[in-house]
Amino acid sequence: MAPPESHIRLQKEAETKTIAAANNDALIDELYGILKEIPMGSPACSEDIYGLDTGIAWMSEDLQWTNSDNISGQGKSSVQSSSEEKKKFERAVDIIHEIADIE
């Protein structure tokens, strides 16, 4: 389920890259499925509950999902991730890197 604008924006250290979603449908669907299953930190911008110092934001009509890399230092999250959820998040990060490297 790609975002409606059919492009994905990848940002790393204030660097943004726009890619065509159609070229990466299987990876995007896998990423979407992972993000639907794993929790977000609460409140938003609280600690990095996955411990990878990596933030992901997905905004589509049916899913709004964000995870903070805790740059803003907003404190402890009331939600914590399990080891299985951390592995899924690691896969999500790998997918994003894979998509970025394809283009």
Each residue's pLDDT tens digit, 3-22? 545 455 555 554 667 777 77
Is the residue at 1 inside a domain? no
Determine, yes or no, domain membership for 2.
no
Q: Could you tell me the pTM of the whole model?
A: 0.77
Q: How far is CA 91 from CA 2, 35, 74, 78, in A?
A: 17, 10, 25, 23
Mean pLDDT of 84-103: 90
| In a domain? residue 67 | yes
How many domains is the chain partitioned into structurally?
Answer: 1
Select from 91, 85, 94, 97 the least CA-distant residue to 39: 85
Per-residue pLDDT tens over the stretch 29-47: 999 999 999 999 887 777 8
Q: Is 64 inside a domain boundary? A: yes
Residue 39: inside a domain: yes
What is the average pLDDT value for the chain, to the nearest integer?
81
Residue 24: the pLDDT is 86
Predicted pLDDT of residue 7: 53
Does any domain span residue 57? yes
Assign 70 a pLDDT band (cuts: 50, 70, 90): low
**30 occurs within a structural domain:** yes
pLDDT value at residue 14 = 47
Q: What is the domain extent for residue 14?
A: 7-102
